[in-house]
Structure 1
Amino acid sequence: MEKDMTAGSPAKMILNFTIPLFLGNVFQQFYSMADTVIVGKFVGTKALAAVGSTGTIMFLIVTSLIGMTAGFTVLTAQRFGAGDLAGMRKSVAMSGILSAIISILITIISMAGMKSLLTVMNTPQDIFHDAYVYIMIICGGIVAQILYNLLSSILRALGNSKVPLYFLIFAALMNIVLDLVFIIGFHLGAAGAAYATVISQGLSGVLCLIYIIKKVPILKMTKDDWRMDWIVVKFQLTIGLPMAFQYSITAIGTLMVQSALNILGSTMVAAFTAACKIEQVVTQAFIAMGTTLSVYSAQNMGAGKVKRIRQGFRAATWMSFVYAILSGLLIMTVGKYMTVFFVSGNIGEIMDAVDIYLKCVGIFFIPLAVVNLYRNGIQGMGFGLLPMMAGIAELIGRGVTAIIASRHASYLGICLASPAAWILAGALLIVMYFYIMKHKMPISEETTP
């Protein structure tokens, strides 16, 4: 089911690749959404706030891992696009070794510093214990996170976006079942939700591994493939670490927003948590399109097809803009009514707060589309450091807005932090794209079939 993205209609290929990715991302959201819904309904608002208060920490960990593993597999996609299967297998082996080492380090560091981080973030005392237990279990399962994200990134680098979707659907359904068992059956509360998430994520990773071993013969590894190649390692670190750092910069800004939010109390934390879950389901399309453009750009970069990369950027941009307008209108008008899925008490007050957030972000979905498309597309071409500057712009926009909102105890200001980040980063990324295309790409253009 591997797919060569260096030939055929760019728009059709991007759309066909994006749809399974989008569905997969939505099902991946079900991990945390199932936790949120079941905890909020069956344990209570404070438990929901406890899970929600750690959401930005999870975002920091998970998105950093996604960025890192996606960066490690850029070379895999480039060598696949160039028809260099031996080089492709070498890149897969090196990404596996690097991911194993880094997963151990991140697990140790995150678990050692978690209590201090929750304290610095002003986590309310009435939810501190549940928040700490929940996030420590999640950190203990970082290896499971990396296993799935790396293997799914490898499959996508080879043009296969459907198989990771199938395993995510299975894992999402398993997560819901385990949530019900651990929370309602065993009365484990927030900790039960964390156990369900880790186990489900681990299962999806194991299924990916079994599939690759049995169904992807071009990834049948030999002893030579596992011998250290420091040139490959250097390239992967040059792309993977900046991507991870860039995602972490974004998450750090989100942590600043969470710290400002925590000052407003557990009810506002619960409302913000519910609103973010609603937004994240809708915006998975932007993330999927960005991932698609990264793979598409990497394969075509490996094949030397610069003109085709430009065509892909244009097609993805128009598709994302249309979706941004339609989805923005949707959540600004009816999104708030999804609040009833998350809470059983204070619904009126929480729904009003959810509506404020959704209106603030929905009107700025076009800049968000730009951020996801151009950041990932540029990284797919092999430029790891330049997009990191956009991550810094995001941090500045989100961080400054959060600080101002914190000083004035303004919920509206907190809701505007993400739009400020998207506008600054999106503008910078567009400038970067045109600079790269004008000054960094080959002057001669190939004839695109």
Structure 2
Amino acid sequence: MNNQSATMNTKDNPLGYKKESTLLVGFAIPCIISMLVTALYNIVDQIFIGQGIGMLGNAATNIAFPLSTTCTAISLLLGIGSATNFSLYLGAGEKNESEKYASNGIVLMALFGIFLFLVTTIFLTPMLKFFGATKDVLPYAKAYTRITAFGFPFLIANTGMSKLILADGSPRYSMISMLAGAIVNTILDPLFIFVFNMGMTGAALATITGQIISFSISLRYMFHFKTIKLSRESFIVSAAHCKKIFILGASACFNQIAMTVVQIVMNNTLSHYGAQSIYGGDIPLACAGIITKVNMIFMSFVIGISQGTQPVIGFNYGAKKYARVRKTYLLSLGAASALSLIAFACFQIFPRQIISIFGNGSDLYFKFSERYFRIYMFLTIVNGIQPVTSSFFNSIGKSQLGVFMSLTRQIIFLLPLIIIFPIFMGIDGVMYAGPIADAAAAIVCGYFTIRELKELKKLEIDLTKC
């Protein structure tokens, strides 16, 4: 691809010339809504289950939550991986390669979704016990997960395809496909749980119905791309294309896998040390599950911003417009930091009010949840740095740094701390592990970001000399 045709392609595509702040708003808002919808599936279920079934129902959804994050991990591995390659090659003017990455990504989404459904169905009971289910919680978790597993292929494909739709320059369509399913889920949840008295089964049926509707809307777009046209030949799976999809999707995927691993370890830690405390094993499980999903609402904004920058940064980096790359990253970091400040204030001032939305409980239940909220989420104010930075490195093709950034908070810092601290501090150790991990991750990400921004500035100067 020569520089002249790449320049022509840049002039034709708004990603190469529109104001960075306008592009960020246009792409980030649909991404935020898309992420909020994913969180909303869990939040809505948690609210109606908490009101209709109670604490054991809330604990059950927490036990099943690692499977939701696994679905998200797979969909981001394939969706972000194929979309990033799509953007980079589109920015360089190589449409044929963009087509192959989109098609190969879609095939992989289908295969991985079916595989996860089969594994979950076959190993359901031992899997839920491994996730930390107590004897009282297990029946509720089985009833819920046995049905939601049917939705895994649709959830993975829809979330992954939404990233390709976004990269193709149709953020509104991506938003609509995700939003439609969430609305259906929200309507059906109270209907199935309260009117038809279907309990956990009703919540699960409402969830998979919404996921199937969203998938159908996204699938329609695959035949109507704006910048490319998928051919039958492009769906032939290539090892080389799959490898690059995995490489550039690894950062976003590992971030979710890290959340899954931490959630499993945390569930078991809370059950074990909770049983040795005045709270018992079930109260910490229920409270931690609620707080994790409330935090998903905040993180949906941050991750949505970081994903919204991907097409802009990827295209302009491919087109060698380094000043636009730097400005887009700094704008996204500023927006994420402002949202982090708002979330910090909410978590510190209104913990009891937030927990009350998810049903009633004993005084001990609320006492634990308030302490957990205020301590574990104390450094939410810096939590916008890591996701934005991880996505930034991934978008410019530096996947190894992107993966490293995605692992800093969850795996490198938080996981060892939630194992070590409770040995000396009991269940309080889990709470204090959170802010320490947040601070350490922010420092590491800040160092690598400053170094990369200097490198981009140097590339920009060198380019003007040519």
2:300 to 278, 281, 284: 284
Partner Cα separation in structure 1 for residue 182 and residue 316 of structure 2: 33
Q: Does the alignment pair 1:374 with 2:374? A: no
Would the alpha carbon gap of residues 185 and 341 (structure 1) be closer, same or farther in structure 2, given more than 3 Å must change? same
Residue 333 of structure 1 corresponds to: 349
Taking structure 1 as the reference length, what is the TM-score of the superposition? 0.90
- Cα distance, 1:225 vs. partner? 2.2
Give the corresponding residue for 2:6.
none
Q: In 1, Cα distance between the equivalents of 2:24 and 2:55? A: 41
Distance between the aligned counterparts of 1:87 and 1:146, measured in 2? 23
Q: Pick from 362, 366, 371: which aligns with 1:351?
A: 366
Among 37, 40, 47, the alignment partner of 2:47 is 37
Moved more, 69-78 or 243-252: 243-252
Using the TM superposition, give the Cα deviation of residue 329 of structure 1 relative to its aligned residue in structure 2, in angstroms: 1.1
Over aligned residues, Cα RMSD in angstroms? 2.6
Would you say 1:433 and 2:442 are equivalent positions? no
Specify the code of the residue in structure 2 equivalent to 1:255.
Answer: I
Query: Distance between the aligned counterparts of 1:114 and 1:440, measured in 2?
Result: 48
One-letter identity of the residue aligned with 1:381: I
Amino acid at match of 1:274: I
Conserved? CA contact 1:22–1:288, under 8 Å: yes
1:127 corresponds to 2:137: yes
Gaps of 5+ in 2: 1-11, 275-280
Establish whether residue 79 from structure 1 lines up as the match of residue 94 from structure 2. no
- Percent identity, aligned pairs only, is 17
Which residue of structure 2 aligns with residue 185 of structure 1? 195
Task: Kindly indicate whether residue 190 of structure 2 is the aligned counterpart of residue 161 of structure 1.
Answer: no
Structure 1 residue 202 corresponds to structure 2 residue 207: no
What is the Cα deviation at residue 113 of structure 1?
A: 3.7
The match for 2:243 among 234, 244, 248 is 234
Alpha-carbon separation, structure 2, partners of 1:197 and 1:167:
15
Output the TM-score relative to the length of structure 2. 0.87
Q: What SS class does the counterpart of residue 93 from structure 2 fall into?
A: coil
> Aligned partners of 2:307, 2:33: CA distance in 1, in Å?
13
Shift of 1:294: 2.3
CA gap of 1:129–1:441, structure 2 versus 1, over 3 A, is farther
Decide whether the 8 Å contact of 1:267 with 1:350 is kept in 2: yes
Aligned residues: 444
Corresponding residue to 1:253 among 248, 251, 262: 262
Please list the CA deviations of residues 140-199 of structure 1 after superposition, one character each: whole Å capped at 9, or x if unmatched: 321011121121010111233222222222211210222223322333322221222122
Q: CA 1:280 to 1:351, structure 2 compared with 1: closer, same or farther past 3 Å?
A: farther
Contact 2:258 2:407 in 1 (8 A): yes
* Cα-to-partner distance string for 1:29-82 (whole Å, 9 max, x where unaligned): 221111111111112221221112222342233234324321221111112333
Aligned to 2:7: none
Deviation of 1:97 (Å): 1.8
State the alpha-carbon separation in 1 of the partners of residues 424 and 146 from structure 2: 32
1:383 aligns with 2:398: yes
Unmatched runs of 5 consecutive residues or more in structure 1: none
1:319 pairs with 2:323: no
For residue 386 of structure 1, what is the amino acid of its counterpart?
L
- The residue aligned with 2:100 is 90
Cα pair 2:103 2:235 within 8 Å, conserved: yes
Taking the aligned partners of 1:225 and 1:442, their CA distance within structure 2 comes to: 38
- When structure 1 is superposed on structure 2, of 437-446 and 251-260 the one drifting more is 437-446
In structure 2, the residue corresponding to 1:443 is in which secondary structure? helix
Q: In the alignment, what sits opposite 2:323?
A: 307
Is the partner of 1:317 in helix, strand or coil? helix
Deviates more, 1:138-147 or 1:275-284: 275-284
Deviation at residue 120 of structure 1 after TM alignment: 3.1
- Change in 2 beyond 3 A, CA 1:55/1:409: farther
* From 76, 80, 85, the counterpart of 1:66: 76
SS of 1:218's equivalent in the other structure is coil
Give the Cα–Cα distance (whole angstroms) in 2 for the partners of residues 278 and 245 of structure 1. Answer: 21
1:220 matched residue in structure 2: 229
Alpha-carbon shift at residue 92 of structure 1 (Å): 0.7
Deviation at 1:337, TM superposition (A): 0.5
Which residue is equivalent to 1:50? 60
Q: Deviations over 1:326-347 (max 9, x none)?
A: 221122112430222211332x
The equivalent residue for 2:277 is: none
Whole-Å separation in 2 of the counterparts to 1:63 and 1:131: 21
1:297 and 1:9 mapped to 2: Cα distance? 13
Single out whichever of 391-400 and 72-81 deviates more from structure 2: 391-400
